[in-house]
Structure formats: C-alpha cells, structure tokens
Amino acid sequence: MTRLRSALTLLIFGSTGCASTAAPTIEAPTARKNQNLEASIERALSLTSPATLYNEPTAPRESLDLDGLRFVGMDNGPVPEFSVESHDGKQLRSVDLVGHEPFVVVFFATWCQVCDMKLPVLKGVFDEIGPVTTIMVSVDDAETWPHVPGYLKEHDVKFPVVSALAYPRFSASYNPFQAVPLVVVVGQNGGLVDYQMGFADTHQKRLSDAIRMARTIGPLKAGVTAPPSRTGDSGAKAAGYPGD
C-alpha cells in the first residue's frame, strides 16, 4: 500500500482545479505543512464575518489551536478525527465512521467552475456502484454561502453539508491546500484510499475504483500507532497501512 499512497500523492499534480497555486505533496516536510496550515487558517479567519449559515452563524465552532493537528495521509494511521455538524443539524463524527465504514469527504464551492464538472462525476459513480456515506464541505464564504442549497439541488446532491469556515480545524486537516474540488476517499479500515484533487477525464473510473477498494480493503496493520488524540476520540485505532 506504500506504493499506492505515493502514487496518489503524485496524481494530485496535473489535474485541473480551482486552486490558484500549485499544491505541495501530501508527504511535504513538516515545515511546509505548517506554513500551508497557517495560510489556510489565516484565509478562514479573513473570510469569517457576521452572516448566516442556513440561518446559523459562520463563526468557527471549534478551536483553531494547532496543537496535535494531523493532516490526512501524513502518516500510516487512521485519518484525522473530527466532530462536525451539518447545516440541518446532523452530527458527523469520526468515532462513528473511522474504522467502521467507508466514507467520502468532498470540498467544493459554488463559484468553482471545475466543481461543476466534478460533481456530476461523483453522482455518476454513486449511480453506478451505489452511495457511500459522504460529507459535503463548502468553502463558500458568508457572501456566497446562501447559494449553496440551490447549487447542490442543481447537481442533485443530497448529502449533508458542512461549512469549512465553521470548522477550520476539520477543513485544514482534510484540505490544507484550500483546493476545490477535492475528494477524499477513506476506507472501511479508517485509512486513506484516495486523495483526488481537481478534475480529469480519468477521475470517474478512478473514483469508482477507489470506492470499491474502500469497501473491501483489509484492516490496517497493527503495531503502528497514530499520534495521541487531543479529544480522546475512541474511534481512532492504533494501526498502519497493510503491506503490499
């Protein structure tokens, strides 16, 4: 699986996306990761203003403390912990998902033209192989957030939606590059299966293959532990990616 993770990192490049600058690799040095994180948090803070989030405030609902923050794919353990709430009040917690069932996290924005090409790919895959638990994460700011419901209805997307501004720590750990569209596929074993940035003609098959793998992949290898949890989330398990 080590070769798979390396390949996924390389596949980030060459895809069309709405990010304005080239994204560093998932395996970037710690110093570079910290710089990206600080830039992401700064951007989130600069966009946060009094507004409504489907009639709820967009102010951050979680700590911006960087202590213990992990990035998805940065180590051999399960993906980072989270506890977020969708616009309609649904609680979405890593303790209920990580290591128990596959899931997908999709970052998008209503102003992102590439997302208009990516979301039909997502729908096409689910129509083909059946749905999987999916968390939609909008990076829209207070000005464009009101367009989110109509945008998702237009694309026939009915999954719960979370505001990236409301949960900057969750957003930074799964999307430190602030790129859209971005699809993160997590296996039933709690490990990263695919990190699909931007859009390419090959993405529908790649996403379909990734979700199939996410449903059938074996358990993470015992003996490699993830960093200690700050929140005590019992859903994180001591494990590592299986060998090739």
What would the pLDDT profile of 26-54 be if each residue is shown by its tens digit? 333 344 444 555 554 454 444 333 333 34
CA–CA separation, 197 and 185 (whole Å):
11
CA–CA separation, 62 and 159 (whole Å):
22
Is there a contact between 95 and 235 (Cβ–Cβ < 8 Å)?
yes
- Structure tokens belonging to residue 98: 């990580």
Q: pLDDT tens digits for 146-179?
A: 999 999 999 999 999 999 989 988 999 999 888 9
Whether residue 239 is contained in a domain is answered as no
Whether residue 116 is contained in a domain is answered as yes
Whether residue 240 is contained in a domain is answered as no
Q: How many domains is the chain built from?
A: 1
Whether residue 241 is contained in a domain is answered as no
Whether residue 103 is contained in a domain is answered as yes
**Greater model confidence, 243 or 103:** 103
Whether residue 234 is contained in a domain is answered as no
CA–CA separation, 157 and 204 (whole Å):
16
Q: What is the pLDDT of residue 177?
A: 86
Q: How many helices (H) and strands (E) does the chain have?
A: 7, 7
**pTM value > 0.75:** no
* CATH number for the domain that contains residue 146: 3.40.30.10
Whether residue 167 is contained in a domain is answered as yes
Q: pLDDT tens digits for 177-211?
A: 889 999 999 999 999 999 999 999 999 999 999 99
Whether residue 67 is contained in a domain is answered as yes
pLDDT(87) > 50:
yes
Q: Give φ, ψ of 205 to 5 degrees.
A: -65, -40
Q: With cut-offs at 50, 70 and 90, classify the pLDDT of residue 63.
A: low
Domain of residue 203: give its range: 2-17+26-216
Is there a contact between 178 and 17 (Cβ–Cβ < 8 Å)?
no
